[in-house]
């Protein structure tokens, strides 16, 4: 519930409340007895009537203050609103990471927010690819992402359910001008305190593709509160963050056979607004301690290497993402493109429009004002009317 004002510019009028109070206080001062020589001819007023006068004076003051308050309310037009006071089309999104990590909580939160905003709960990424699904090649990913951003720009407000720790950098990108409300999930109590994010794939022959995978993995890791990738991975972990094909299942002999990028190559990765330099060769992670384990695999089917790595982890693998920069059929594929397609179609005419709260003039302060005024007139008439009292 938000208290908002249609014309908050009139709120200064409430400051005028000080005027009747000042008048009252000053007239109390002026109420020092007046020397009056002909007092003997003034009829005496009984005590109970005097008390009545004092009471009605205070009542009149109260009424006049309330009248000013009602006038202020009438002009400023207060509104009690339950929704976000933005206008346009509302959309609720779930970040892939949140969906991957805690799908139930993410869906519940998204649905609750959708009903609060008054939009039909159209949950994107519900059919986010599960391991085993394939993504057909399509348009360049950059084009799709740009299109996606453009589509997102039509939504305002934009509620995004995010994984614990921060927003996906996709939603932090500048092209989205919508006001974004971040709905951060509470991590379930059962969740482990450690998360590992891996980027692995067998299509290592494409440098761009690997780079994208690495960048995505690293971004996800960086925005997570459990940034265990890299420097603070436990010492002695014998599983390396693999960039390339994993050649053996033997955990002890895990090697990277053919790296496109040398393991000690430094790479600039944009995470949100920051640019960090990472040496992936040193990015170690204690996979055994990681639960859940997020594996970002680049290609359609779960990468063998990724599978291999995942099997080494003691934790449960919750997510396999595919992100292939050269996938030509993204829009019709079952991977991340599903999410993009939904974004694009959300703005279709069938999509529910979020209506701003209707704002007819609230007349109740006027009626209150009228009532107070009548009461004030009546009372002040009674106060001065000759013979107005019963015992006159």
Partner 1 sequence: MQIDPHTLARLGNLEITGRTIATGYLHGRHLGQRHGPGTEFSQYRTWQPGDPRRSVDWRLFARTGQLHVREAELETDLRLWLVLDTSASMGVRTPGAPLTKLGFALRLAAALGFLAQQQGDELGLVEMGRQTAVRLPPAAGRDQWYRLLGALDSLDAGGDLVGAESLPLTLLDASEGALIFVLSDFYQQTGELLQNVARLALGNRDLRALCLECEVETRFDLGGARRLRDPESGEIVMTQPPRVRAQYLASRESYLNQVAREIAAAGGRFGRFSVDRPLDESLRRYLMAESAPAP
Nearer to partner 1 by Cβ, of 32 and 277: the residue is 32
Name 324's Cβ contacts closer than 8 Å, sequence gap at least 6.
135, 137, 141, 203, 209, 298, 299, 300, 335
Nearer to partner 1 by Cβ, of 174 and 387: the residue is 387
- Least separation in angstroms between residue 59's CB and partner 1 is 13
Decide if 238 contacts 248 (C-beta within 8 A): no
- Our CA angle for 157, 218, 122, nearest 5°, is 30
- Least separation in angstroms between residue 77's CB and partner 1 is 35
Beta strands in 74-223 (DSSP E): 78-81, 89-94, 155-162, 180-184, 196-200
> Smallest Cα–Cα separation from 92: which of 342, 334, 323, 319?
342
- Least separation in angstroms between residue 55's CB and partner 1 is 12
Q: What is the CA radius of gyration of the chain?
A: 35
* Distance (Å) of CA 298 to CA 67, 205, 237, 321: 69, 12, 24, 7
- Least separation in angstroms between residue 386's CB and partner 1 is 5
Nearer to partner 1 by Cβ, of 45 and 134: the residue is 45
- Least separation in angstroms between residue 41's CB and partner 1 is 4
Decide if 155 contacts 132 (C-beta within 8 A): no
Nearer to partner 1 by Cβ, of 49 and 116: the residue is 49
- Least separation in angstroms between residue 369's CB and partner 1 is 24
Identify the DSSP state of 229.
S
Residues at the site binding partner 1, with contacts judged by CB under 8 A: 31-45, 50, 53, 57, 383-389, 392
- Least separation in angstroms between residue 38's CB and partner 1 is 4
Tokens, residue 69:
């308050």
Distance (Å, rounded) from C-alpha 12 to C-alpha 37? 46
Distance (Å, rounded) from C-alpha 204 to C-alpha 211? 10
Nearer to partner 1 by Cβ, of 63 and 338: the residue is 63
- Least separation in angstroms between residue 368's CB and partner 1 is 26
* Distance (Å) of CA 93 to CA 254, 340, 346: 38, 11, 11
Helix (H) or strand (E) holding 212: helix 207-223
Nearer to partner 1 by Cβ, of 23 and 370: the residue is 23
Nearer to partner 1 by Cβ, of 39 and 143: the residue is 39
Nearer to partner 1 by Cβ, of 231 and 385: the residue is 385
């Amino acid at each position: 519930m938000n208290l908002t004002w249609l014309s908050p510019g009139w709120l200064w009028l409430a400051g005028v409340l000080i005027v009747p109070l000042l008048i009252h206080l000053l007239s109390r001062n002026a109420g020092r007895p007046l020397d009056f020589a002909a007092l003997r001819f003034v009829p005496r007023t009984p005590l109970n009537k005097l008390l009545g006068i004092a009471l009605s004076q205070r009542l009149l003051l109260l009424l006049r203050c309330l009248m000013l308050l009602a006038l202020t309310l009438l002009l400023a037009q207060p509104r009690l609103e339950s929704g976000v006071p933005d206008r346009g089309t509302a959309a609720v999104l779930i970040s892939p990471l949140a969906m991957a990590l805690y799908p139930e909580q993410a869906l519940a939160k998204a649905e609750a927010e959708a009903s609060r905003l008054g939009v039909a709960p159209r949950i994107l990424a519900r059919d986010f690819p599960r391991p085993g699904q394939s993504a057909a090649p399509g348009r360049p990913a950059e084009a799709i992402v740009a299109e996606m951003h453009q589509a997102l720009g039509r939504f305002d407000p934009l509620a995004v359910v995010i994984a614990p720790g921060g927003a996906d950098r996709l939603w932090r990108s500048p092209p989205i001008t919508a006001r974004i409300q971040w709905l951060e999930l509470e991590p379930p109590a059962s969740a482990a305190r450690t998360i590992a994010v891996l980027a692995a794939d067998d299509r290592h022959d494409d440098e761009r593709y690997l780079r994208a995978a690495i960048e995505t993995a690293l971004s996800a890791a960086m925005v997570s509160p459990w940034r265990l990738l890299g420097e603070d991975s436990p010492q002695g972990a014998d599983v390396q963050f693999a960039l390339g094909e994993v050649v053996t299942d033997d955990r002890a002999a895990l090697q990277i056979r053919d790296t496109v990028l040398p393991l000690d190559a430094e790479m600039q990765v944009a995470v949100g607004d920051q640019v960090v330099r990472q040496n992936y060769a040193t990015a170690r992670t204690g996979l055994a301690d990681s639960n859940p384990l997020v594996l970002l695999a680049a290609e359609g089917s779960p990468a063998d290497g990724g599978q291999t790595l995942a099997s080494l982890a003691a934790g449960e693998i919750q997510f396999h993402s595919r992100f292939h920069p050269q996938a030509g059929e993204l829009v019709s594929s079952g991977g991340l493109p599903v999410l993009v397609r939904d974004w694009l179609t959300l703005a279709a005419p069938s999509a529910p429009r979020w209506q701003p709260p209707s704002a007819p003039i609230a007349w109740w302060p006027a009626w209150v004002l009228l009532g107070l005024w009548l009461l004030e007139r009546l009372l002040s008439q009674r106060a001065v009317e000759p013979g107005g009292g019963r015992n006159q």
